[in-house]
Every structure is written in structure tokens, then in C-alpha cells.
Amino acid sequence: MSQLIQNFNNMNTEEIDTTISSENNFDIMVNEIVLLFENTDMERRKHEIVNYLNNYNITSQEIYNWLLNNQNNSNSVFLLGIFNHLGIEINVDEQKAFKLYQIAANSENAPGIVSLGYCYENGIGTNIDKQKAFELYQKAANLENTRGITNLGYCYENGIGTNIDKQKAFELFQKAANLENTQNARGITNLGTCYEYGIGTNIDKRKAFELYQKAANLENIRGIINLGTCYYHGIGTNIDKQKAFELYKKAANLGNRVAQYNLAIMYEYEDGIKKDINQAIYWYTKSAEQGYQKAQNQLNKLINKKDLL
């Protein structure tokens, strides 16, 4: 393993001379960032890293340089994988990220195991292997890692690398949501979905609403969007289009493409708010730029309609 890490360090084109003062406590920062990821979806990780570092007046370049020179623990290896995966301070390099996750996973690092499973599930830096992803999520779940438990539940819900078992999925989401000393927002959101649609349990719209509210309070994007949808359609609560708008806007500003699309719809059709075609175009564009086809379709229709006026 040490030879692999040395090879990664040798891949850099320039020698980096960094002297980090011990008072910066970068070891502690790395561990805190890794813990932060337990409640953060992949799309939000780059944003959360930048915010965390800004709070300590540390640049991403400083911690990246430190990581390159301190690959002696599995969390540092894992976080360097994240930097490569998300393109923080360097260009995105999925193959290198995969290999770094693999090194961390070989050291029984639970976040590394989960991220390696994510790579196999989605073909990031390697070939898609759903069975391997399932096995890795199972391994992380056995280590009581909340993301591993949640991802394993998702596998059972959707038949990823295993047979569909809605009851098992519900039980795993419930475990992740209630795991002692943690508040796993993703598990809470997924548990809410189970109650909303009757996945492995009886339908309970009110319970779903309460769980989405709890997840939204933990800044989970899906929780925020689902809570907005509850207010929009009156799921487990009274219809409140203004509240739905505020929640969609919050999630849209956090970069979620579905929320951006929902927000644009409300602006276009004056759905409980003041109509604003320019804002609709803006948010359709933001969503379409992230590859959301529904947004692209609506954007094309809206632009064609404007051209005809």
C-alpha cells in the first residue's frame, strides 16, 4: 500500500514545498471534513469542503498540498480521493480517485469503502459492477457506517446487485435514521419516502412530512425538495405554495437541478407567486446545464414562444 501511495505522490509534475504550522491542526480538520460527509450527498461535497475551509481561513490549495505530503492515514488518502473525484485544486481524475478510494478501503476506512462502492455502482474510474457495489455497501454497513447502511437500503429498494426487498430497505433506512449519536439526513429522507409511498411499511403521509422536515432542518437537499413538494401538493400538511417556492429556491441556490426546474415552473406559470419569465429562463438554463432534460425541453418551448411574440 505504501508503494502505491508513493506512486501517487510521484505523479505530481512539480515538487511542492509546504510547511504547515502544527497550530493549523490539519489532522483534526481532515477528520472533521470526513465526518461531515456522512450527512452530505456527492453533489454537495465540494461546496461543503469550501465552506468548511473558509470558516477556518484555510485555502483548498493549502490542505491539498498537506494531503499530498501526509498520506499516512486512511482519512487523508480518502480525502485526496475526493479532491481528485470532484476536481478540487486539480482537474477531475476519476481513475486516480478510484485508486485512492481503493487504498483507503483496503485499510478498512468506512467512507473509502462506501465511495469505492459508489464508483462500482456508477462506473467512476472503473467498470460498473453492481454486485461489487452491493458487497462494499454491505461491508460498510457492517462497520455501522450510516452512508453504507443507507446505500445498502437503496440497493435492496431498487435491486442493485441483489434482489428487491422493500421490507429490508425500510429496516435499513430506519436504522440509519435512528443510529445512535448520528442524525443521518439521507437515511431520514429515504425513510420519509418509504412512509410516503408505502415502501416496506404502511403509507403515512404525515410521518413522511415530519421526516422530510427533520431532514430539511439538517440541510439535506432531497429533504428540502421533498418538503417543498409536500407543501406544494398538500402531502401530510396543508397546501402552501409560498412555502414550497421558498424551499425550492433554497435547494435551487444550493445547486440542485430538480429544484431549479421546479422553481422555473413556478416562475413561468405564476403558480402561487408573481410570474417572471426571465427568472424562469434563468432557472431552466441552470438546470439544463446540469443535464436535466425536462428543463431543456421547457427552456426550448419558452424561448420559441418568446420568439413568436
pLDDT, mean over the chain: 88
- Any domain includes 223: no
CB 194 within 8 A of CB 211: no
Q: Is the pTM of this model over 0.85?
A: no
240 membership: H or E segment, kind and range: none
- Any domain includes 123: yes
- Any domain includes 77: yes
- Any domain includes 19: no
Per-residue pLDDT, 11:
43
CB 185 within 8 A of CB 39: yes
How confident is the model over 242-271, as a mean pLDDT?
93
**Tens of pLDDT along 59-75?**
889 999 999 998 889 99
Which residues touch 139 (CB under 8 Å, ≥6 apart)? Answer: 113, 148
Per-residue pLDDT, 306:
67
Domain of 155, in residue numbers: 24-164
- Report the CATH number at residue 30: 1.25.40.10
- Any domain includes 114: yes
- Any domain includes 229: no
**Closest listed residue to residue 149, CA positions, set 162, 158, 140:** 140
- What domain count does the chain have? 1
Residue 213 backbone dihedrals phi, psi, to 5 degrees:
-60, -45
- Any domain includes 175: no
Amino acid at 213: Q
- Any domain includes 301: no
